[in-house]
Every structure is written in structure tokens, then in C-alpha cells.
Amino acid sequence: MCARARTAIAGHTDTVSEPAVIDLPDALRLLRDGELSVEGRLYDASNATLYCMVSLDGVTAACVHKPIVGERPLWDFPDGTLAYREQAAYEVSSALGWQIVPPTVLRDGPFGVGMCQLWIDIDENVDLAVLARSDHPQLRRMAVFDAVVNNADRKGGHLLPTHDGHVFGVDHGVCFSPDDKLRTLLWRWRGKALNDEAVTALSELRAQLEGDLGATLRALLAPEEVAATILRVDRLLTTSRHPLPSDDWPPVPWPPF
């Protein structure tokens, strides 16, 4: 996997260069081990979300850092767990092989431990309202991913379309509840049969949940949350269909964008 991100080369006079490609291992090492400096804050985010630059071995990239101390308490998720859920979402995305979540690590920062995620430059010419209603194959993958992680907040603004046609998804702090909380704009495929790609990916994911992936998630989530994730994968494989909206939970986030 390669990630297209906003990067700058140390020593250049321009602040930010054109989007460049960073190989996944290099991106993860940069995020994990690089020097993190805060450039600003994203004020439209509900939790403290810092726009940062991270530098290592002469390479600098933009990233988003969400320190745990800046998380807003929620009634339905334990305090201080959102960064771990973001990391768990990346681990599931990586295991599925669909490049839904940008490279993400847990690391220390200027305000303590938090999530650090590679900044993705988006194609600002894409209308997110139109994209969210489209049959883009990456959105169908994302709908399956959201069903696995039980995403309670898939807003249109959490879609990041890139110039090469890929669509990333971000903001996964309210995922992995053991209760059914799937809330999303991506209901286009509700009740429809999973395609062969999804069935294959879910089958491989299920096997990984019995091994290293399961161990990784158990270090990030509560035991009942990991067990519920396995049950959701089993249910998807048993029904071979995209889930239907719940009658007990609002199916669409508000605001939707």
C-alpha cells in the first residue's frame, strides 16, 4: 500500500509541496518515531484535533493528532478510549486490505498519548453529497467495513476523496460498541448480497481475528468489544448480505455532514 499525503522535504523554502506518495512502512515509521510539531487546530472537530507536522530523516509530512486528554466524554463510550478505537479501526482496515483508514499509530505527543494519522489531501472538486449517494466501489467496501467495526458516525464529511479516485474514511472514535450502533449515510446497499470480494475479505478477516489481529484488538478494546466484532463478522458471513438499519437506533448520523 502507498498513501498519498501532503508532504514537504526538509530544507525546501515552500511550506508544503504537491501531494507525494509515501510507502506504508515508511509512513507508519514516520508517524510513530518522527518529531511532532503542532501547527494548528481543526476547530470544527468535536474532540481536540491538532494539525501537525511530523519529521524524520529529512522527510516531513502533515498529520492529524488527537490526544486522549482532549476527548469529550460520551454517554455511551468509556472515557479515554476514542484514540484506541481509532487505532483498532486502522488495524481492521489494514487486515481487510482495502486502504479505508489512512496510516494511523498511537504515540506520545505534546499533550500526551493519542492517535496520530497521516493527513490526506483531498480532491476539493468532489461533491461529498453526490459521492455519498453514489455506487463508488470504495464506498461499498466502506459500508462493509463500517458494519464490521460498528461505526456509529459515518458522516459525509468523514469521506476523503483523493485526486486518483480513491476514497479514505476517517474519524472512527465511536466504533466497536458491543451494542448495535451502526449509523451511516452508506445505506445504498442495505439488504443486498455481499459481492465476492467482500465475502473473501471477510473470510480472511475472520481467520486473522483468531490470530494476531485478535491479539492486537484485545490490547486496544474491551474483551466484550472484540467478541462482538467477531460476532458481527460471523453474521455478515452467515447472511452474506449487507445489514439493514436497526429499528432501535437512528440509522443516519446528525448532522449528516
pLDDT tens, position by position, 240-251: 999 999 888 889
pLDDT at 195 over 80: yes
126-145: average pLDDT:
96
58-85: average pLDDT:
95
Whether residue 255 has a cis bond before it, omega within 30° of 0: yes
**Please, which pLDDT band fits residue 31 given cuts at 50, 70 and 90?**
very high
Share of the chain above pLDDT 70, in %: 91
Give the mean pLDDT of the chain: 91
Share of the chain above pLDDT 90, in %: 84
pLDDT at 117 over 60: yes
| pLDDT score, position 215 | 98
**Please, which pLDDT band fits residue 21 given cuts at 50, 70 and 90?**
low
User: Which of 3-12, 32-41, 208-217 is predicted with the least confidence, judged by mean pLDDT?
Assistant: 3-12
| pLDDT score, position 223 | 98
| pLDDT score, position 187 | 97
Q: What is the pTM of this model?
A: 0.91
pLDDT at 16 over 60: no
Exposure string (b/e) for 232-257, b if CB count within 10 Å is 16 or more?
Answer: bbeebeeeeebbebeeeeeeebeeee
List C-alpha distances in Å: 164 to 1, 139, 254. 14, 15, 29
| pLDDT score, position 98 | 95
87-101: average pLDDT:
97
SS3 2: strand
Contacts 24+ apart (CB under 8 A), 78-85: 78/222, 82/47, 82/115, 82/173, 82/174, 83/113, 83/114, 83/115, 83/173, 84/220, 84/221, 85/172, 85/173, 85/174, 85/175, 85/176, 85/220, 85/221
| Residue with more model confidence, 119 or 2 | 119
User: Which of 37-41, 113-117, 148-152 is predicted with the least confidence, judged by mean pLDDT?
Assistant: 37-41
